[in-house]
């Protein structure tokens, strides 16, 4: 159901009826698989006015209106935890439902076919491609930590009104190599050019951390919120 402010009822003090707001506002679900920056993602979404539920319940994930998969840590451990909690099928079903999905950092990488981190590990294979390490011969420090700019290659809805060459916060040692170059939304330079976000259908995923990227990070999350509320 499309969220429209005109449908919100006000009480005598002119404030929003909170009970009605809960009934008509979509809930964005953040997947809890015992890894990642769950609290910072939750707080960032709440700061822009989202109703947020952090859960590892497969049914709640499948029925979500918007879904966020954050992540910090090992690719293999992430896939192990998702499988152990019975969340892999829930993620597949949600993405196939067509509702908006946001993957952050490791939550972007595991969408791909495989990773070369600590040997070869299979990912969700929702997007074809692999995850590879930065080349340490470049002389740059690995992991790549700190602020860096993005070059916008495609105008994804999540990037609406975000200027080209905007700075976002990164923490990672690996990056994705998509087989389909048409899904590349942004690239970033760090010794070499790498893919810093992708967009395909209802899926937007970024290597950087919008929840740690201050004003522009919140702007990206607001754009994601708008796609959820417009569903």
Tell me which residue of 171, 58, 157 sits closest to 107, measured CA to CA: 171
pLDDT reported for residue 139 = 75
- pLDDT at residue 13 greater than cutoff 50: no
- pLDDT-derived band at 204 (thresholds 50, 70, 90) equals very high
4 three-class SS: coil
8-state DSSP, 106: H
Q: How far is the C-alpha of 32 from the C-alpha of 45, rounded, in Å? A: 15
Contact between residue 162 and residue 176 where contact means Cβ atoms under 8 Å apart: no
Q: Which helix (H) or strand (E) element contains residue 216?
A: helix 214-229
pLDDT reported for residue 227 = 97
Per-residue pLDDT of 102-136, as tens digits, reads 999 999 999 999 999 988 999 999 999 999 999 87
pTM score of the predicted model? 0.89
Query: Mean pLDDT over residues 9-21, rounded?
Result: 45
Beta strands in 100-206 (DSSP E): 101-104, 112-115, 121-122, 127-133, 144-149, 151-152, 167-172, 174-178, 184-189, 193-200, 203-206
Q: In percent, how much of the chain has pLDDT > 70?
A: 89
Between residues 15 and 132, the one the model is more confident about: 132
**Catalytic residue numbers, as ranges:** 105, 209, 211
Residue listed under structure tokens 């919008």: 210
Distances from the Cα of 133 to the Cα of 3, 15, 117, 139, 189, angstroms: 42, 51, 7, 14, 14
pLDDT reported for residue 9 = 41
- pLDDT at residue 53 greater than cutoff 90: yes
Q: How far is the C-alpha of 23 from the C-alpha of 27, rounded, in Å? A: 10
Q: Which of 43-52, 113-122, 138-147, 180-189 shows the lowest per-residue confidence on average (mean pLDDT)?
A: 138-147
Per-residue pLDDT of 208-224, as tens digits, reads 999 999 999 999 999 99
- pLDDT at residue 68 greater than cutoff 80: yes
Number of neighbours of residue 183 by Cβ within 10 angstroms: 22
- pLDDT-derived band at 138 (thresholds 50, 70, 90) equals low
Number of neighbours of residue 14 by Cβ within 10 angstroms: 6
Average pLDDT, the chain: 90
Beta strands in the chain (DSSP E): 27-31, 51-55, 66-69, 101-104, 112-115, 121-122, 127-133, 144-149, 151-152, 167-172, 174-178, 184-189, 193-200, 203-206
Query: Mean pLDDT over residues 53-81, rounded?
Result: 95
Q: How far is the C-alpha of 156 from the C-alpha of 51, rounded, in Å? A: 23
Domains of the chain: 5-229 (3.40.50.880)
Q: In percent, how much of the chain has pLDDT > 90?
A: 81
């Amino acid at each position: 159901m499309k969220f429209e402010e005109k449908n919100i009822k006000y009480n005598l003090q002119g404030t929003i009826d909170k009970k009605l707001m809960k009934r008509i506002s979509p809930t964005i679900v953040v997947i809890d698989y015992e890894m990642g920056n769950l609290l910072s993602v939750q707080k960032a979404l709440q700061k822009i006015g989202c109703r947020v539920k952090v859960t590892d319940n497969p049914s709640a994930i499948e029925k979500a209106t918007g879904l966020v998969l954050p992540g910090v840590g090992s690719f293999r451990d992430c896939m192990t935890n998702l499988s152990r909690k019975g969340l892999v099928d829930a993620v597949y079903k949600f993405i196939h439902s067509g509702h908006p999905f946001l993957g952050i950092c490791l939550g972007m990488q595991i969408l791909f076919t495989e990773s070369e981190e600590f040997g070869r590990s299979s990912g969700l294979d929702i997007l074809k491609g692999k995850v590879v390490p930065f080349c340490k011969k470049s002389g740059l420090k690995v992991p790549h930590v700190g602020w860096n700019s993005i070059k916008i290659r495609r105008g994804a809805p999540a990037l609406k009104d975000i200027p080209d060459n905007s700075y976002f916060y990164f923490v990672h040692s690996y990056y994705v190599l998509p087989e389909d170059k048409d899904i590349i939304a942004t690239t970033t330079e760090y010794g070499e050019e790498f893919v810093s976000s992708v967009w395909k259908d209802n899926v937007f995923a970024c290597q950087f951390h919008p929840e740690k990227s201050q004003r522009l990070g919140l702007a990206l999350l607001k754009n994601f919120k708008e796609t959820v509320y417009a569903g």
